[in-house]
């Protein structure tokens, strides 16, 4: 099995910062793309940021300039540094990693989710 474990969520005031992490464990040959998604109450899950194996990144318009995605390949970990947080950022955040588990075979694995609440 390959599992992703997330950490770093919590309560923060508007304008504050928070750092999320997501580490994969199991039988892993390599990891291609990594990403973060979020789901607010009553809304569909949406993409927040992605990072390719070579390090190129993409962000949702709503978080550009405030969030930074990064990865540590040696630790099979993806991070999301969140700054200038707004109440609208409140959501459950999920990470996803595309994991090579066999010859030419990738699995898209999701984390369990971590709640981020931005409120005064």
List pLDDT tens digits, range 13-59. Answer: 999 999 999 999 998 888 999 999 999 999 999 999 999 999 999 99
- DSSP at 64: T
Question: Mind listing the pLDDT tens digit for each residue in 56-77?
Answer: 999 999 999 999 999 999 999 9
Phi first, then psi: what are they for 106, rounded to 5°?
-115, 145
CB neighbour class for 66 (10 Å; exposed up to 12, middle 13-18, buried from 19) = middle
**90 pLDDT above the threshold of 90:** yes
Q: Rounded CA gap, 33 and 89, in Å?
A: 23
What three-state secondary structure class fits 89? helix
Lowest mean pLDDT among 22-31, 85-94, 110-119: 22-31
Asked if residue 56 lies in contact with residue 3, where contact means CB atoms within 8 angstroms, the answer is: no
Q: Rounded CA gap, 47 and 35, in Å?
A: 8
**86 pLDDT above the threshold of 90:** yes
Q: Identify the CA nearest to 95 among candidates 1, 30, 3.
A: 3
Predicted confidence at residue 105, as pLDDT, reads: 87
Asked if residue 15 lies in contact with residue 85, where contact means CB atoms within 8 angstroms, the answer is: yes
Q: Rounded CA gap, 21 and 7, in Å?
A: 5
**102 pLDDT tier (thresholds 50, 70, 90):** confident
């Amino acid at each position: 099995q390959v599992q992703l474990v997330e950490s770093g969520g919590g309560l923060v005031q508007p304008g504050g910062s928070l750092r999320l992490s997501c580490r994969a464990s199991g039988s892993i040959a390599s990891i291609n793309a990594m990403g973060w998604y979020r789901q607010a109450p009553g809304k569909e899950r949406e993409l927040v940021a992605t990072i390719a194996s070579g390090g190129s990144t993409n962000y949702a318009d709503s978080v550009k300039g405030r969030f930074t995605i990064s990865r540590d390949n040696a630790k099979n970990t993806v991070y999301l540094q969140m700054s200038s947080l707004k109440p609208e950022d409140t959501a459950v955040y999920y990470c996803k990693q595309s994991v090579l588990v066999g010859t030419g075979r990738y699995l898209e694995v999701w984390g369990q989710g971590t709640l981020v609440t931005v409120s005064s």
